[in-house]
Amino acid sequence: MERHSLYKSKLTALMFILPTLVILIIFLYYPTFQTFKMSLYRVAFLGLSKQFVGLENYRYIFSSPEYRKIFLNTAIFVVLSVVISLVIGLFLAVLANQKIKGKTVFRLLLIWPYALPPAVAGVIFLFLFNEQSGMVNYILKHVANIALPWLSKSYLAMGVVITAFVWKMVGYNVVFYLAALQNIPKDIIEAAKVEGASIFQTFFKVTLPMLSPITLFLVVTNTIAAFFESFTFIDLITKGGPADSTTVIIYSIYRDGFEYFKTGLAAAESVILFICVVILTLIQLRVSRRMVHYEK
């Protein structure tokens, strides 16, 4: 086969990718490699000395009930937030896609939360759900004369962080779903109508399957976001509490690494998280081969 090359020599081509490569090596590949290496050591405070322990860090993590709980919390957080943010995102996108007056305003408002920095969003929710002076309890007290211990009851606290994360993520999903909805040819929806399909039948049998490629993309990106970007919300709103009930793995890595200075342990957790994300993404891609239809 003839080789198509834009450049005369390999060296020229290499020179072009070199800057990117250098940055990737320094800031991505080398630290990743160091993390893998570090996970096999027990590291003393500030890394003053380290001792090779093999897979001891991993054995400790998998046998400790404390970490098992963290994994469970992570699973709950990721699954619930991804499902909820996708469903709400799609629902709002469908509404925003209607021919209504002022739709540009609605679309803008829907996308707004995504434009907020996570730290700002986190603080907003911290204020909203503050048990003594928060807006939510203020309203509940006036309307139903109750006040809920939002941040000191474990499942409520989890609910609050998930809500915060979903609220932030929905804007992103709306943008993508809206774009995808507008890409569905009008003819096809009309054909379904003429064939006698009701609005719901049209949505579930035609629209939804045609959104499958974007849904796959959003499942992958939302999952990754739920693993990593949840940090800000948990750090700001609950600090992993009460009683570690909202500690997810990314927060635990931060705590072990930078508060308890168990660098080796944190590195091992990072490796586990890394592997989890890779496996999950692979599963999602595999499943998608059956479920997702790509337009040619």
* CB of 85 or CB of 97, closer to other proteins: 97
| Least distance from other proteins to the Cβ atom of residue 100, Å | 16
Q: Which is nearer to other proteins, 54 or 196 (CB)?
A: 196
Residue 206 in the binding site for other proteins (CB under 8 A) = yes
Please identify, among the stretches 40-48, 163-171, 201-209, 274-282, the one whose residues bind other proteins according to the rule CB under 8 A: 201-209
Taking CB under 8 A as the rule, does residue 259 contact other proteins?
no
Instruction: State the Cα torsion 154-160-162-167 to the nearest 10°.
Output: 180
| Distances 294 to 91, 119, 289, 291 between C-alpha atoms, Å | 22, 37, 10, 10
Question: Which of 189/271 has CB closer to other proteins?
Answer: 189
Does residue 42 sit in helix, strand or coil?
A: strand
Distance CA 122, CA 165 (A): 9
Residue 148 touching other proteins (CB under 8 A): no
Interface pattern 158-197 for other proteins (x via CB under 8 A): ---------------------------x-xx-xxxxxxxx
Q: What CA–CA distances, in Å, run from 274 to 56, 166, 249?
A: 18, 23, 11
Count how many residues are written for the chain.
296
The nearest distance, CB 111 to other proteins, in angstroms, is: 28
For other proteins, the closer CB: 141 or 293: 293
Selection from 225, 233, 226, 228 nearest residue 119 by Cα: 233
Q: Is the dihedral of CA 148, 152, 153, 159 positive or negative?
A: positive
Give the footprint of other proteins on this chain (CB under 8 A). 185, 187-188, 190-198, 201, 205-206, 209-210, 212, 293, 295-296
